[in-house]
Amino acid sequence: MRTNLHPKFAISIAVALSLVISTAQGEDVVTFASWMATFDFTAFPGADLSPTGDADGDGIANAVEFVIGNLPNQTKVENLPTLTRVTNPNVGGTVLVGNYLKFSYRRSDASDDAADISLDVAYSRTDLAGPWSIAGVGEDGVELDDTPNPEIPGVDVAVYIPLRSDTKFFARLQVTVP
């Protein structure tokens, strides 16, 4: 997805979803697998129920559906992260002076509780191929805000990354599952 938000500045932005598989093992009761087990997949015989699988064929991997509060057995493209350009954003009562890229995504409480799901926001000022930086609050001027979203239930997270002399900017949500 690439959108020219402000042609005057010729900023091009892109949002991507990526999935990283690691060998770490979680021990909490809530896991990706236990979440998947709560859904009926009879409408999708032979569906790939793994974290990287896309059981309902909507292009969103099962683990990402978990994170953003979507349904892994409903073929619907919705609630994807967004990236917008903002100026002097008010973040939790503090005005951040200057131009920022605001990366917004949904985080379900269930996925936050799951021991085997971790999440990073990564961004690149260079290219979709990277190098990617992991957004950390207070690092590189990055700030974060979140507000409850009872619909998921979970939170809507906004990550603010200062815009420098960038002509391109890319951000992505990285979901890591064992």
Give me the numbers of helices (H) and strands (E) for the chain, helices first please.
Answer: 3, 11
Residue number, 108 or 124, with CB nearest to Ca ion: 108
Closest distance to Ca ion from the beta carbon of 142 (Å): 29
Residue number, 52 or 126, with CB nearest to Ca ion: 52
- Within positions 74 to 113, which residues make up the interface with Ca ion, using CB under 5 A? 74
**Which one among 54, 143, 145, 166 touches Ca ion, defined by CB under 5 A?**
54
Closest distance to Ca ion from the beta carbon of 75 (Å): 6
Closest distance to Ca ion from the beta carbon of 139 (Å): 32
**In 70-149, at which residue ranges do the beta strands (DSSP E only) sit?**
82-87, 90-91, 94-95, 99-108, 118-124, 133-134, 143-149
Written as six digits, the tokens of 90 are 């008010």
Please tell me what DSSP assigns to residue 55.
T
Q: Does 48 bind Ca ion (CB under 5 A)?
A: no
Q: How many residues does the chain have?
A: 178
Identify the three-state secondary structure at position 164. coil
Closest distance to Ca ion from the beta carbon of 61 (Å): 6
Q: Does 58 bind Ca ion (CB under 5 A)?
A: yes
Residue number, 54 or 145, with CB nearest to Ca ion: 54
Closest distance to Ca ion from the beta carbon of 128 (Å): 22
Residue at token pair 């926001």: 121
**Which one among 56, 116, 143, 166 touches Ca ion, defined by CB under 5 A?**
56
Residue number, 58 or 146, with CB nearest to Ca ion: 58
Q: Is 141 left (phi over 0), alpha (psi -120 to 50) or beta?
A: left
**In 22-167, at which residue ranges do the beta strands (DSSP E only) sit?**
82-87, 90-91, 94-95, 99-108, 118-124, 133-134, 143-149, 154-162
The residue ranges that bind Ca ion (CB under 5 A) are 54, 56, 58, 60, 70, 74
